Chains A and B, each alone.
Chain A
Amino acid sequence: DAGVTQSPTHLIKTRGQHVTLRCSPISGHKSVSWYQQVLGQGPQFIFQYYEKEERGRGNFPDRFSARQFPNYSSELNVNALLLGDSALYLCASSPGLAGETQYFGPGTRLLVL
């Protein structure tokens, strides 16, 4: 069974640009969460989506947005990129919403110049 997949694996953007990151959850998983991991730190929660609805949002500015599609895949969008947005963006999926183990993908490494 395929795990969580993310694309692209690496991305280089310049300040002010927009970026879209994609995630496909494990088959049968209905919940997708996004995390930002800055080098040398633990992942920080950005969003959780379940059944196409936003169920949780971390302490991130409105430049960050996401959505979940009918097939449970998800996109994370970041507008007006800042140098500080450079990080590994991780997607995690779980079968349901509460108290479920989260399975992480390999991440997308974003570098903002």
Chain B
Amino acid sequence: QQQVKQSPQSLIVQKGGISIINCAYENTAFDYFPWYQQFPGKGPALLIAIRPDVSEKKEGRFTISFNKSAKQFSLHIMDSQPGDSATYFCAASMWTGANNLFFGTGTRLTVIP
């Protein structure tokens, strides 16, 4: 079953607007939550990541909000730009002797000029 659920599937935002992508998980053993950005024909690139001991992390225009009690986390992209148009994946991992990432199904973001 899908360990990490992501929404929306697609998102269209005006240039300068805020893009918000949400993810939810069930397994409380997850302890690392990264967001990846993927352009067509490329591999995923790490954007920003958070651990459950903090509720928010900001890097430039990208912010992760984390709600441990609700088992939800979200990515906010401030001042969205056409160059941000890509597919975004949330992911989660836990220590099991290996470091496998469980990915969401992805959000295709389009930023309109």
Contact = CB atoms under 8 A, between A and B. Distances in A.
Interface of A: 4, 31, 33, 35, 40-45, 48, 55-56, 58, 90, 92, 94, 97-107
B3 to A, nearest CB: 10
A101 B43 CA distance: 14
B52 interface: no
A43 B97 contact: no
B100 A101 contact: no
B11 interface: no
A43 B100 contact: no
B106 A41 contact: yes
Contacts of A55: 97-99
Interface in B26-81: 31-32, 34, 36, 41-46, 49
Nearest to B31: A99
B100 A48 contact: yes
Nearest to A55: B98
Given A41-B106, A42-B89, A42-B105, A31 B44 contact: no
A35 B101 CA distance: 9
Given A42-B105, A42-B106, A44-B103, A107 B97 contact: no
Given A41-B105, A42-B89, A48 B43 contact: no
The 3 A-B pairs with the shortest beta carbon distances in the complex, nearest first, are: A56-B98, A42-B103, A104-B43
B105 A97 contact: no
A90 B99 contact: no
A100 B99 contact: yes
A3 to B, nearest CB: 9
B44 A48 contact: no
Contacts of A90: 43-44
Contacts of B34: 101
B101 A45 contact: yes
A99 B94 CA distance: 8
